[in-house]
Amino acid sequence: MGERTITGYATSALKEKLRGLNLGSGLFVEDNLSSWVSGEVSIGDRKGKSYPIYSLEVVVPFSGTVNGALVKGSVHLPDLSLEMLDDLEVDLDVAEGSAADSVKEAAAEKVREAVRSWANSTRKAVGESLESLPFDPPSQARTPRAAALISEDESMSAAGAAELDDAAIEELPHPDDLREAVEEEEPFTEEEVQQLYDDARQALSETVDGEDLEGQYAELGSSNLAANLDES
């Protein structure tokens, strides 16, 4: 069985918990929520029991009047997950020096209460009546994160790089090919060997003088140069 997700159902329920939420001191989450959540809610199973697994990021706008001043801002939950539920991070973004500064912590606690209420009701629904819940259609299954983060241009570039790598690999000679090429070469002729020997003597005569030169000639003659070249 493939992964079962209830993202649509669960986030709709969360929206109802947050929409119009009274944050206290005259502040309210706005009713018009669009593009406010990202992530997924899936179903996990353990010891014959089902439970929700969620990893969401939430940003909802709020507004109101505090001490006679109009205030607007947003509530940000960067990591709404089961693991973080007991210590849920809630950030209220408002202009620095805003009249809402003094009520931010109280407002954040209101949000935590609403989210935990949603988490409890979602867990109960999954545990007691999972088969009656509306599962997400296959078309809404989450794209693997690594693939989703690659843009079309990056994907094309990656494909092009792979083709170049393949081409480079194909052009590299195999060691067996090199060995065969060496084996196919004809051995040196006696004339070529003699020419190499004469060239070596000429080079020595131009760079070495006197007794040293005779010694070098003797060493060259005893090096079996001709024999070594014949065997190649």
Question: Which tens digits make up the pLDDT trace of 79-90?
Answer: 999 999 999 999
Give 132 or 193, the one with higher predicted confidence: 132
CA 151 from centroid of its chain's CA atoms = 12
Mean pLDDT, residues 29-38 taken together: 92
Does the pLDDT value for residue 70 go beyond 50?
yes
Could you tell me if 71 and 99 are in contact, meaning their C-beta atoms sit under 8 angstroms apart?
yes
Q: What is the mean pLDDT of the chain?
A: 77
SS3 135: coil
**In this structure, what DSSP letter does residue 159 have?**
H
Neighbouring-strand partners of residue 41:
54
- Token look-up 């070098």 returns 216
CA distance 94 to 188: 88
E-assigned strand segments in the chain: 22-24, 27-29, 37-46, 49-66, 69-81, 91-93
CB atoms within 10 A of CB 133: 16
Q: What's residue 4's pLDDT?
A: 93
Domains present along the chain, CATH in parentheses: 7-141 (3.15.10.20), 175-231 (no CATH)
Could you tell me if 63 and 98 are in contact, meaning their C-beta atoms sit under 8 angstroms apart?
no
Q: What's residue 178's pLDDT?
A: 46
Q: What's residue 129's pLDDT?
A: 95
Give 50 or 168, the one with higher predicted confidence: 50
Mean pLDDT, residues 3-29 taken together: 95
Does the pLDDT value for residue 72 go beyond 70?
yes
Residue count (the chain): 232
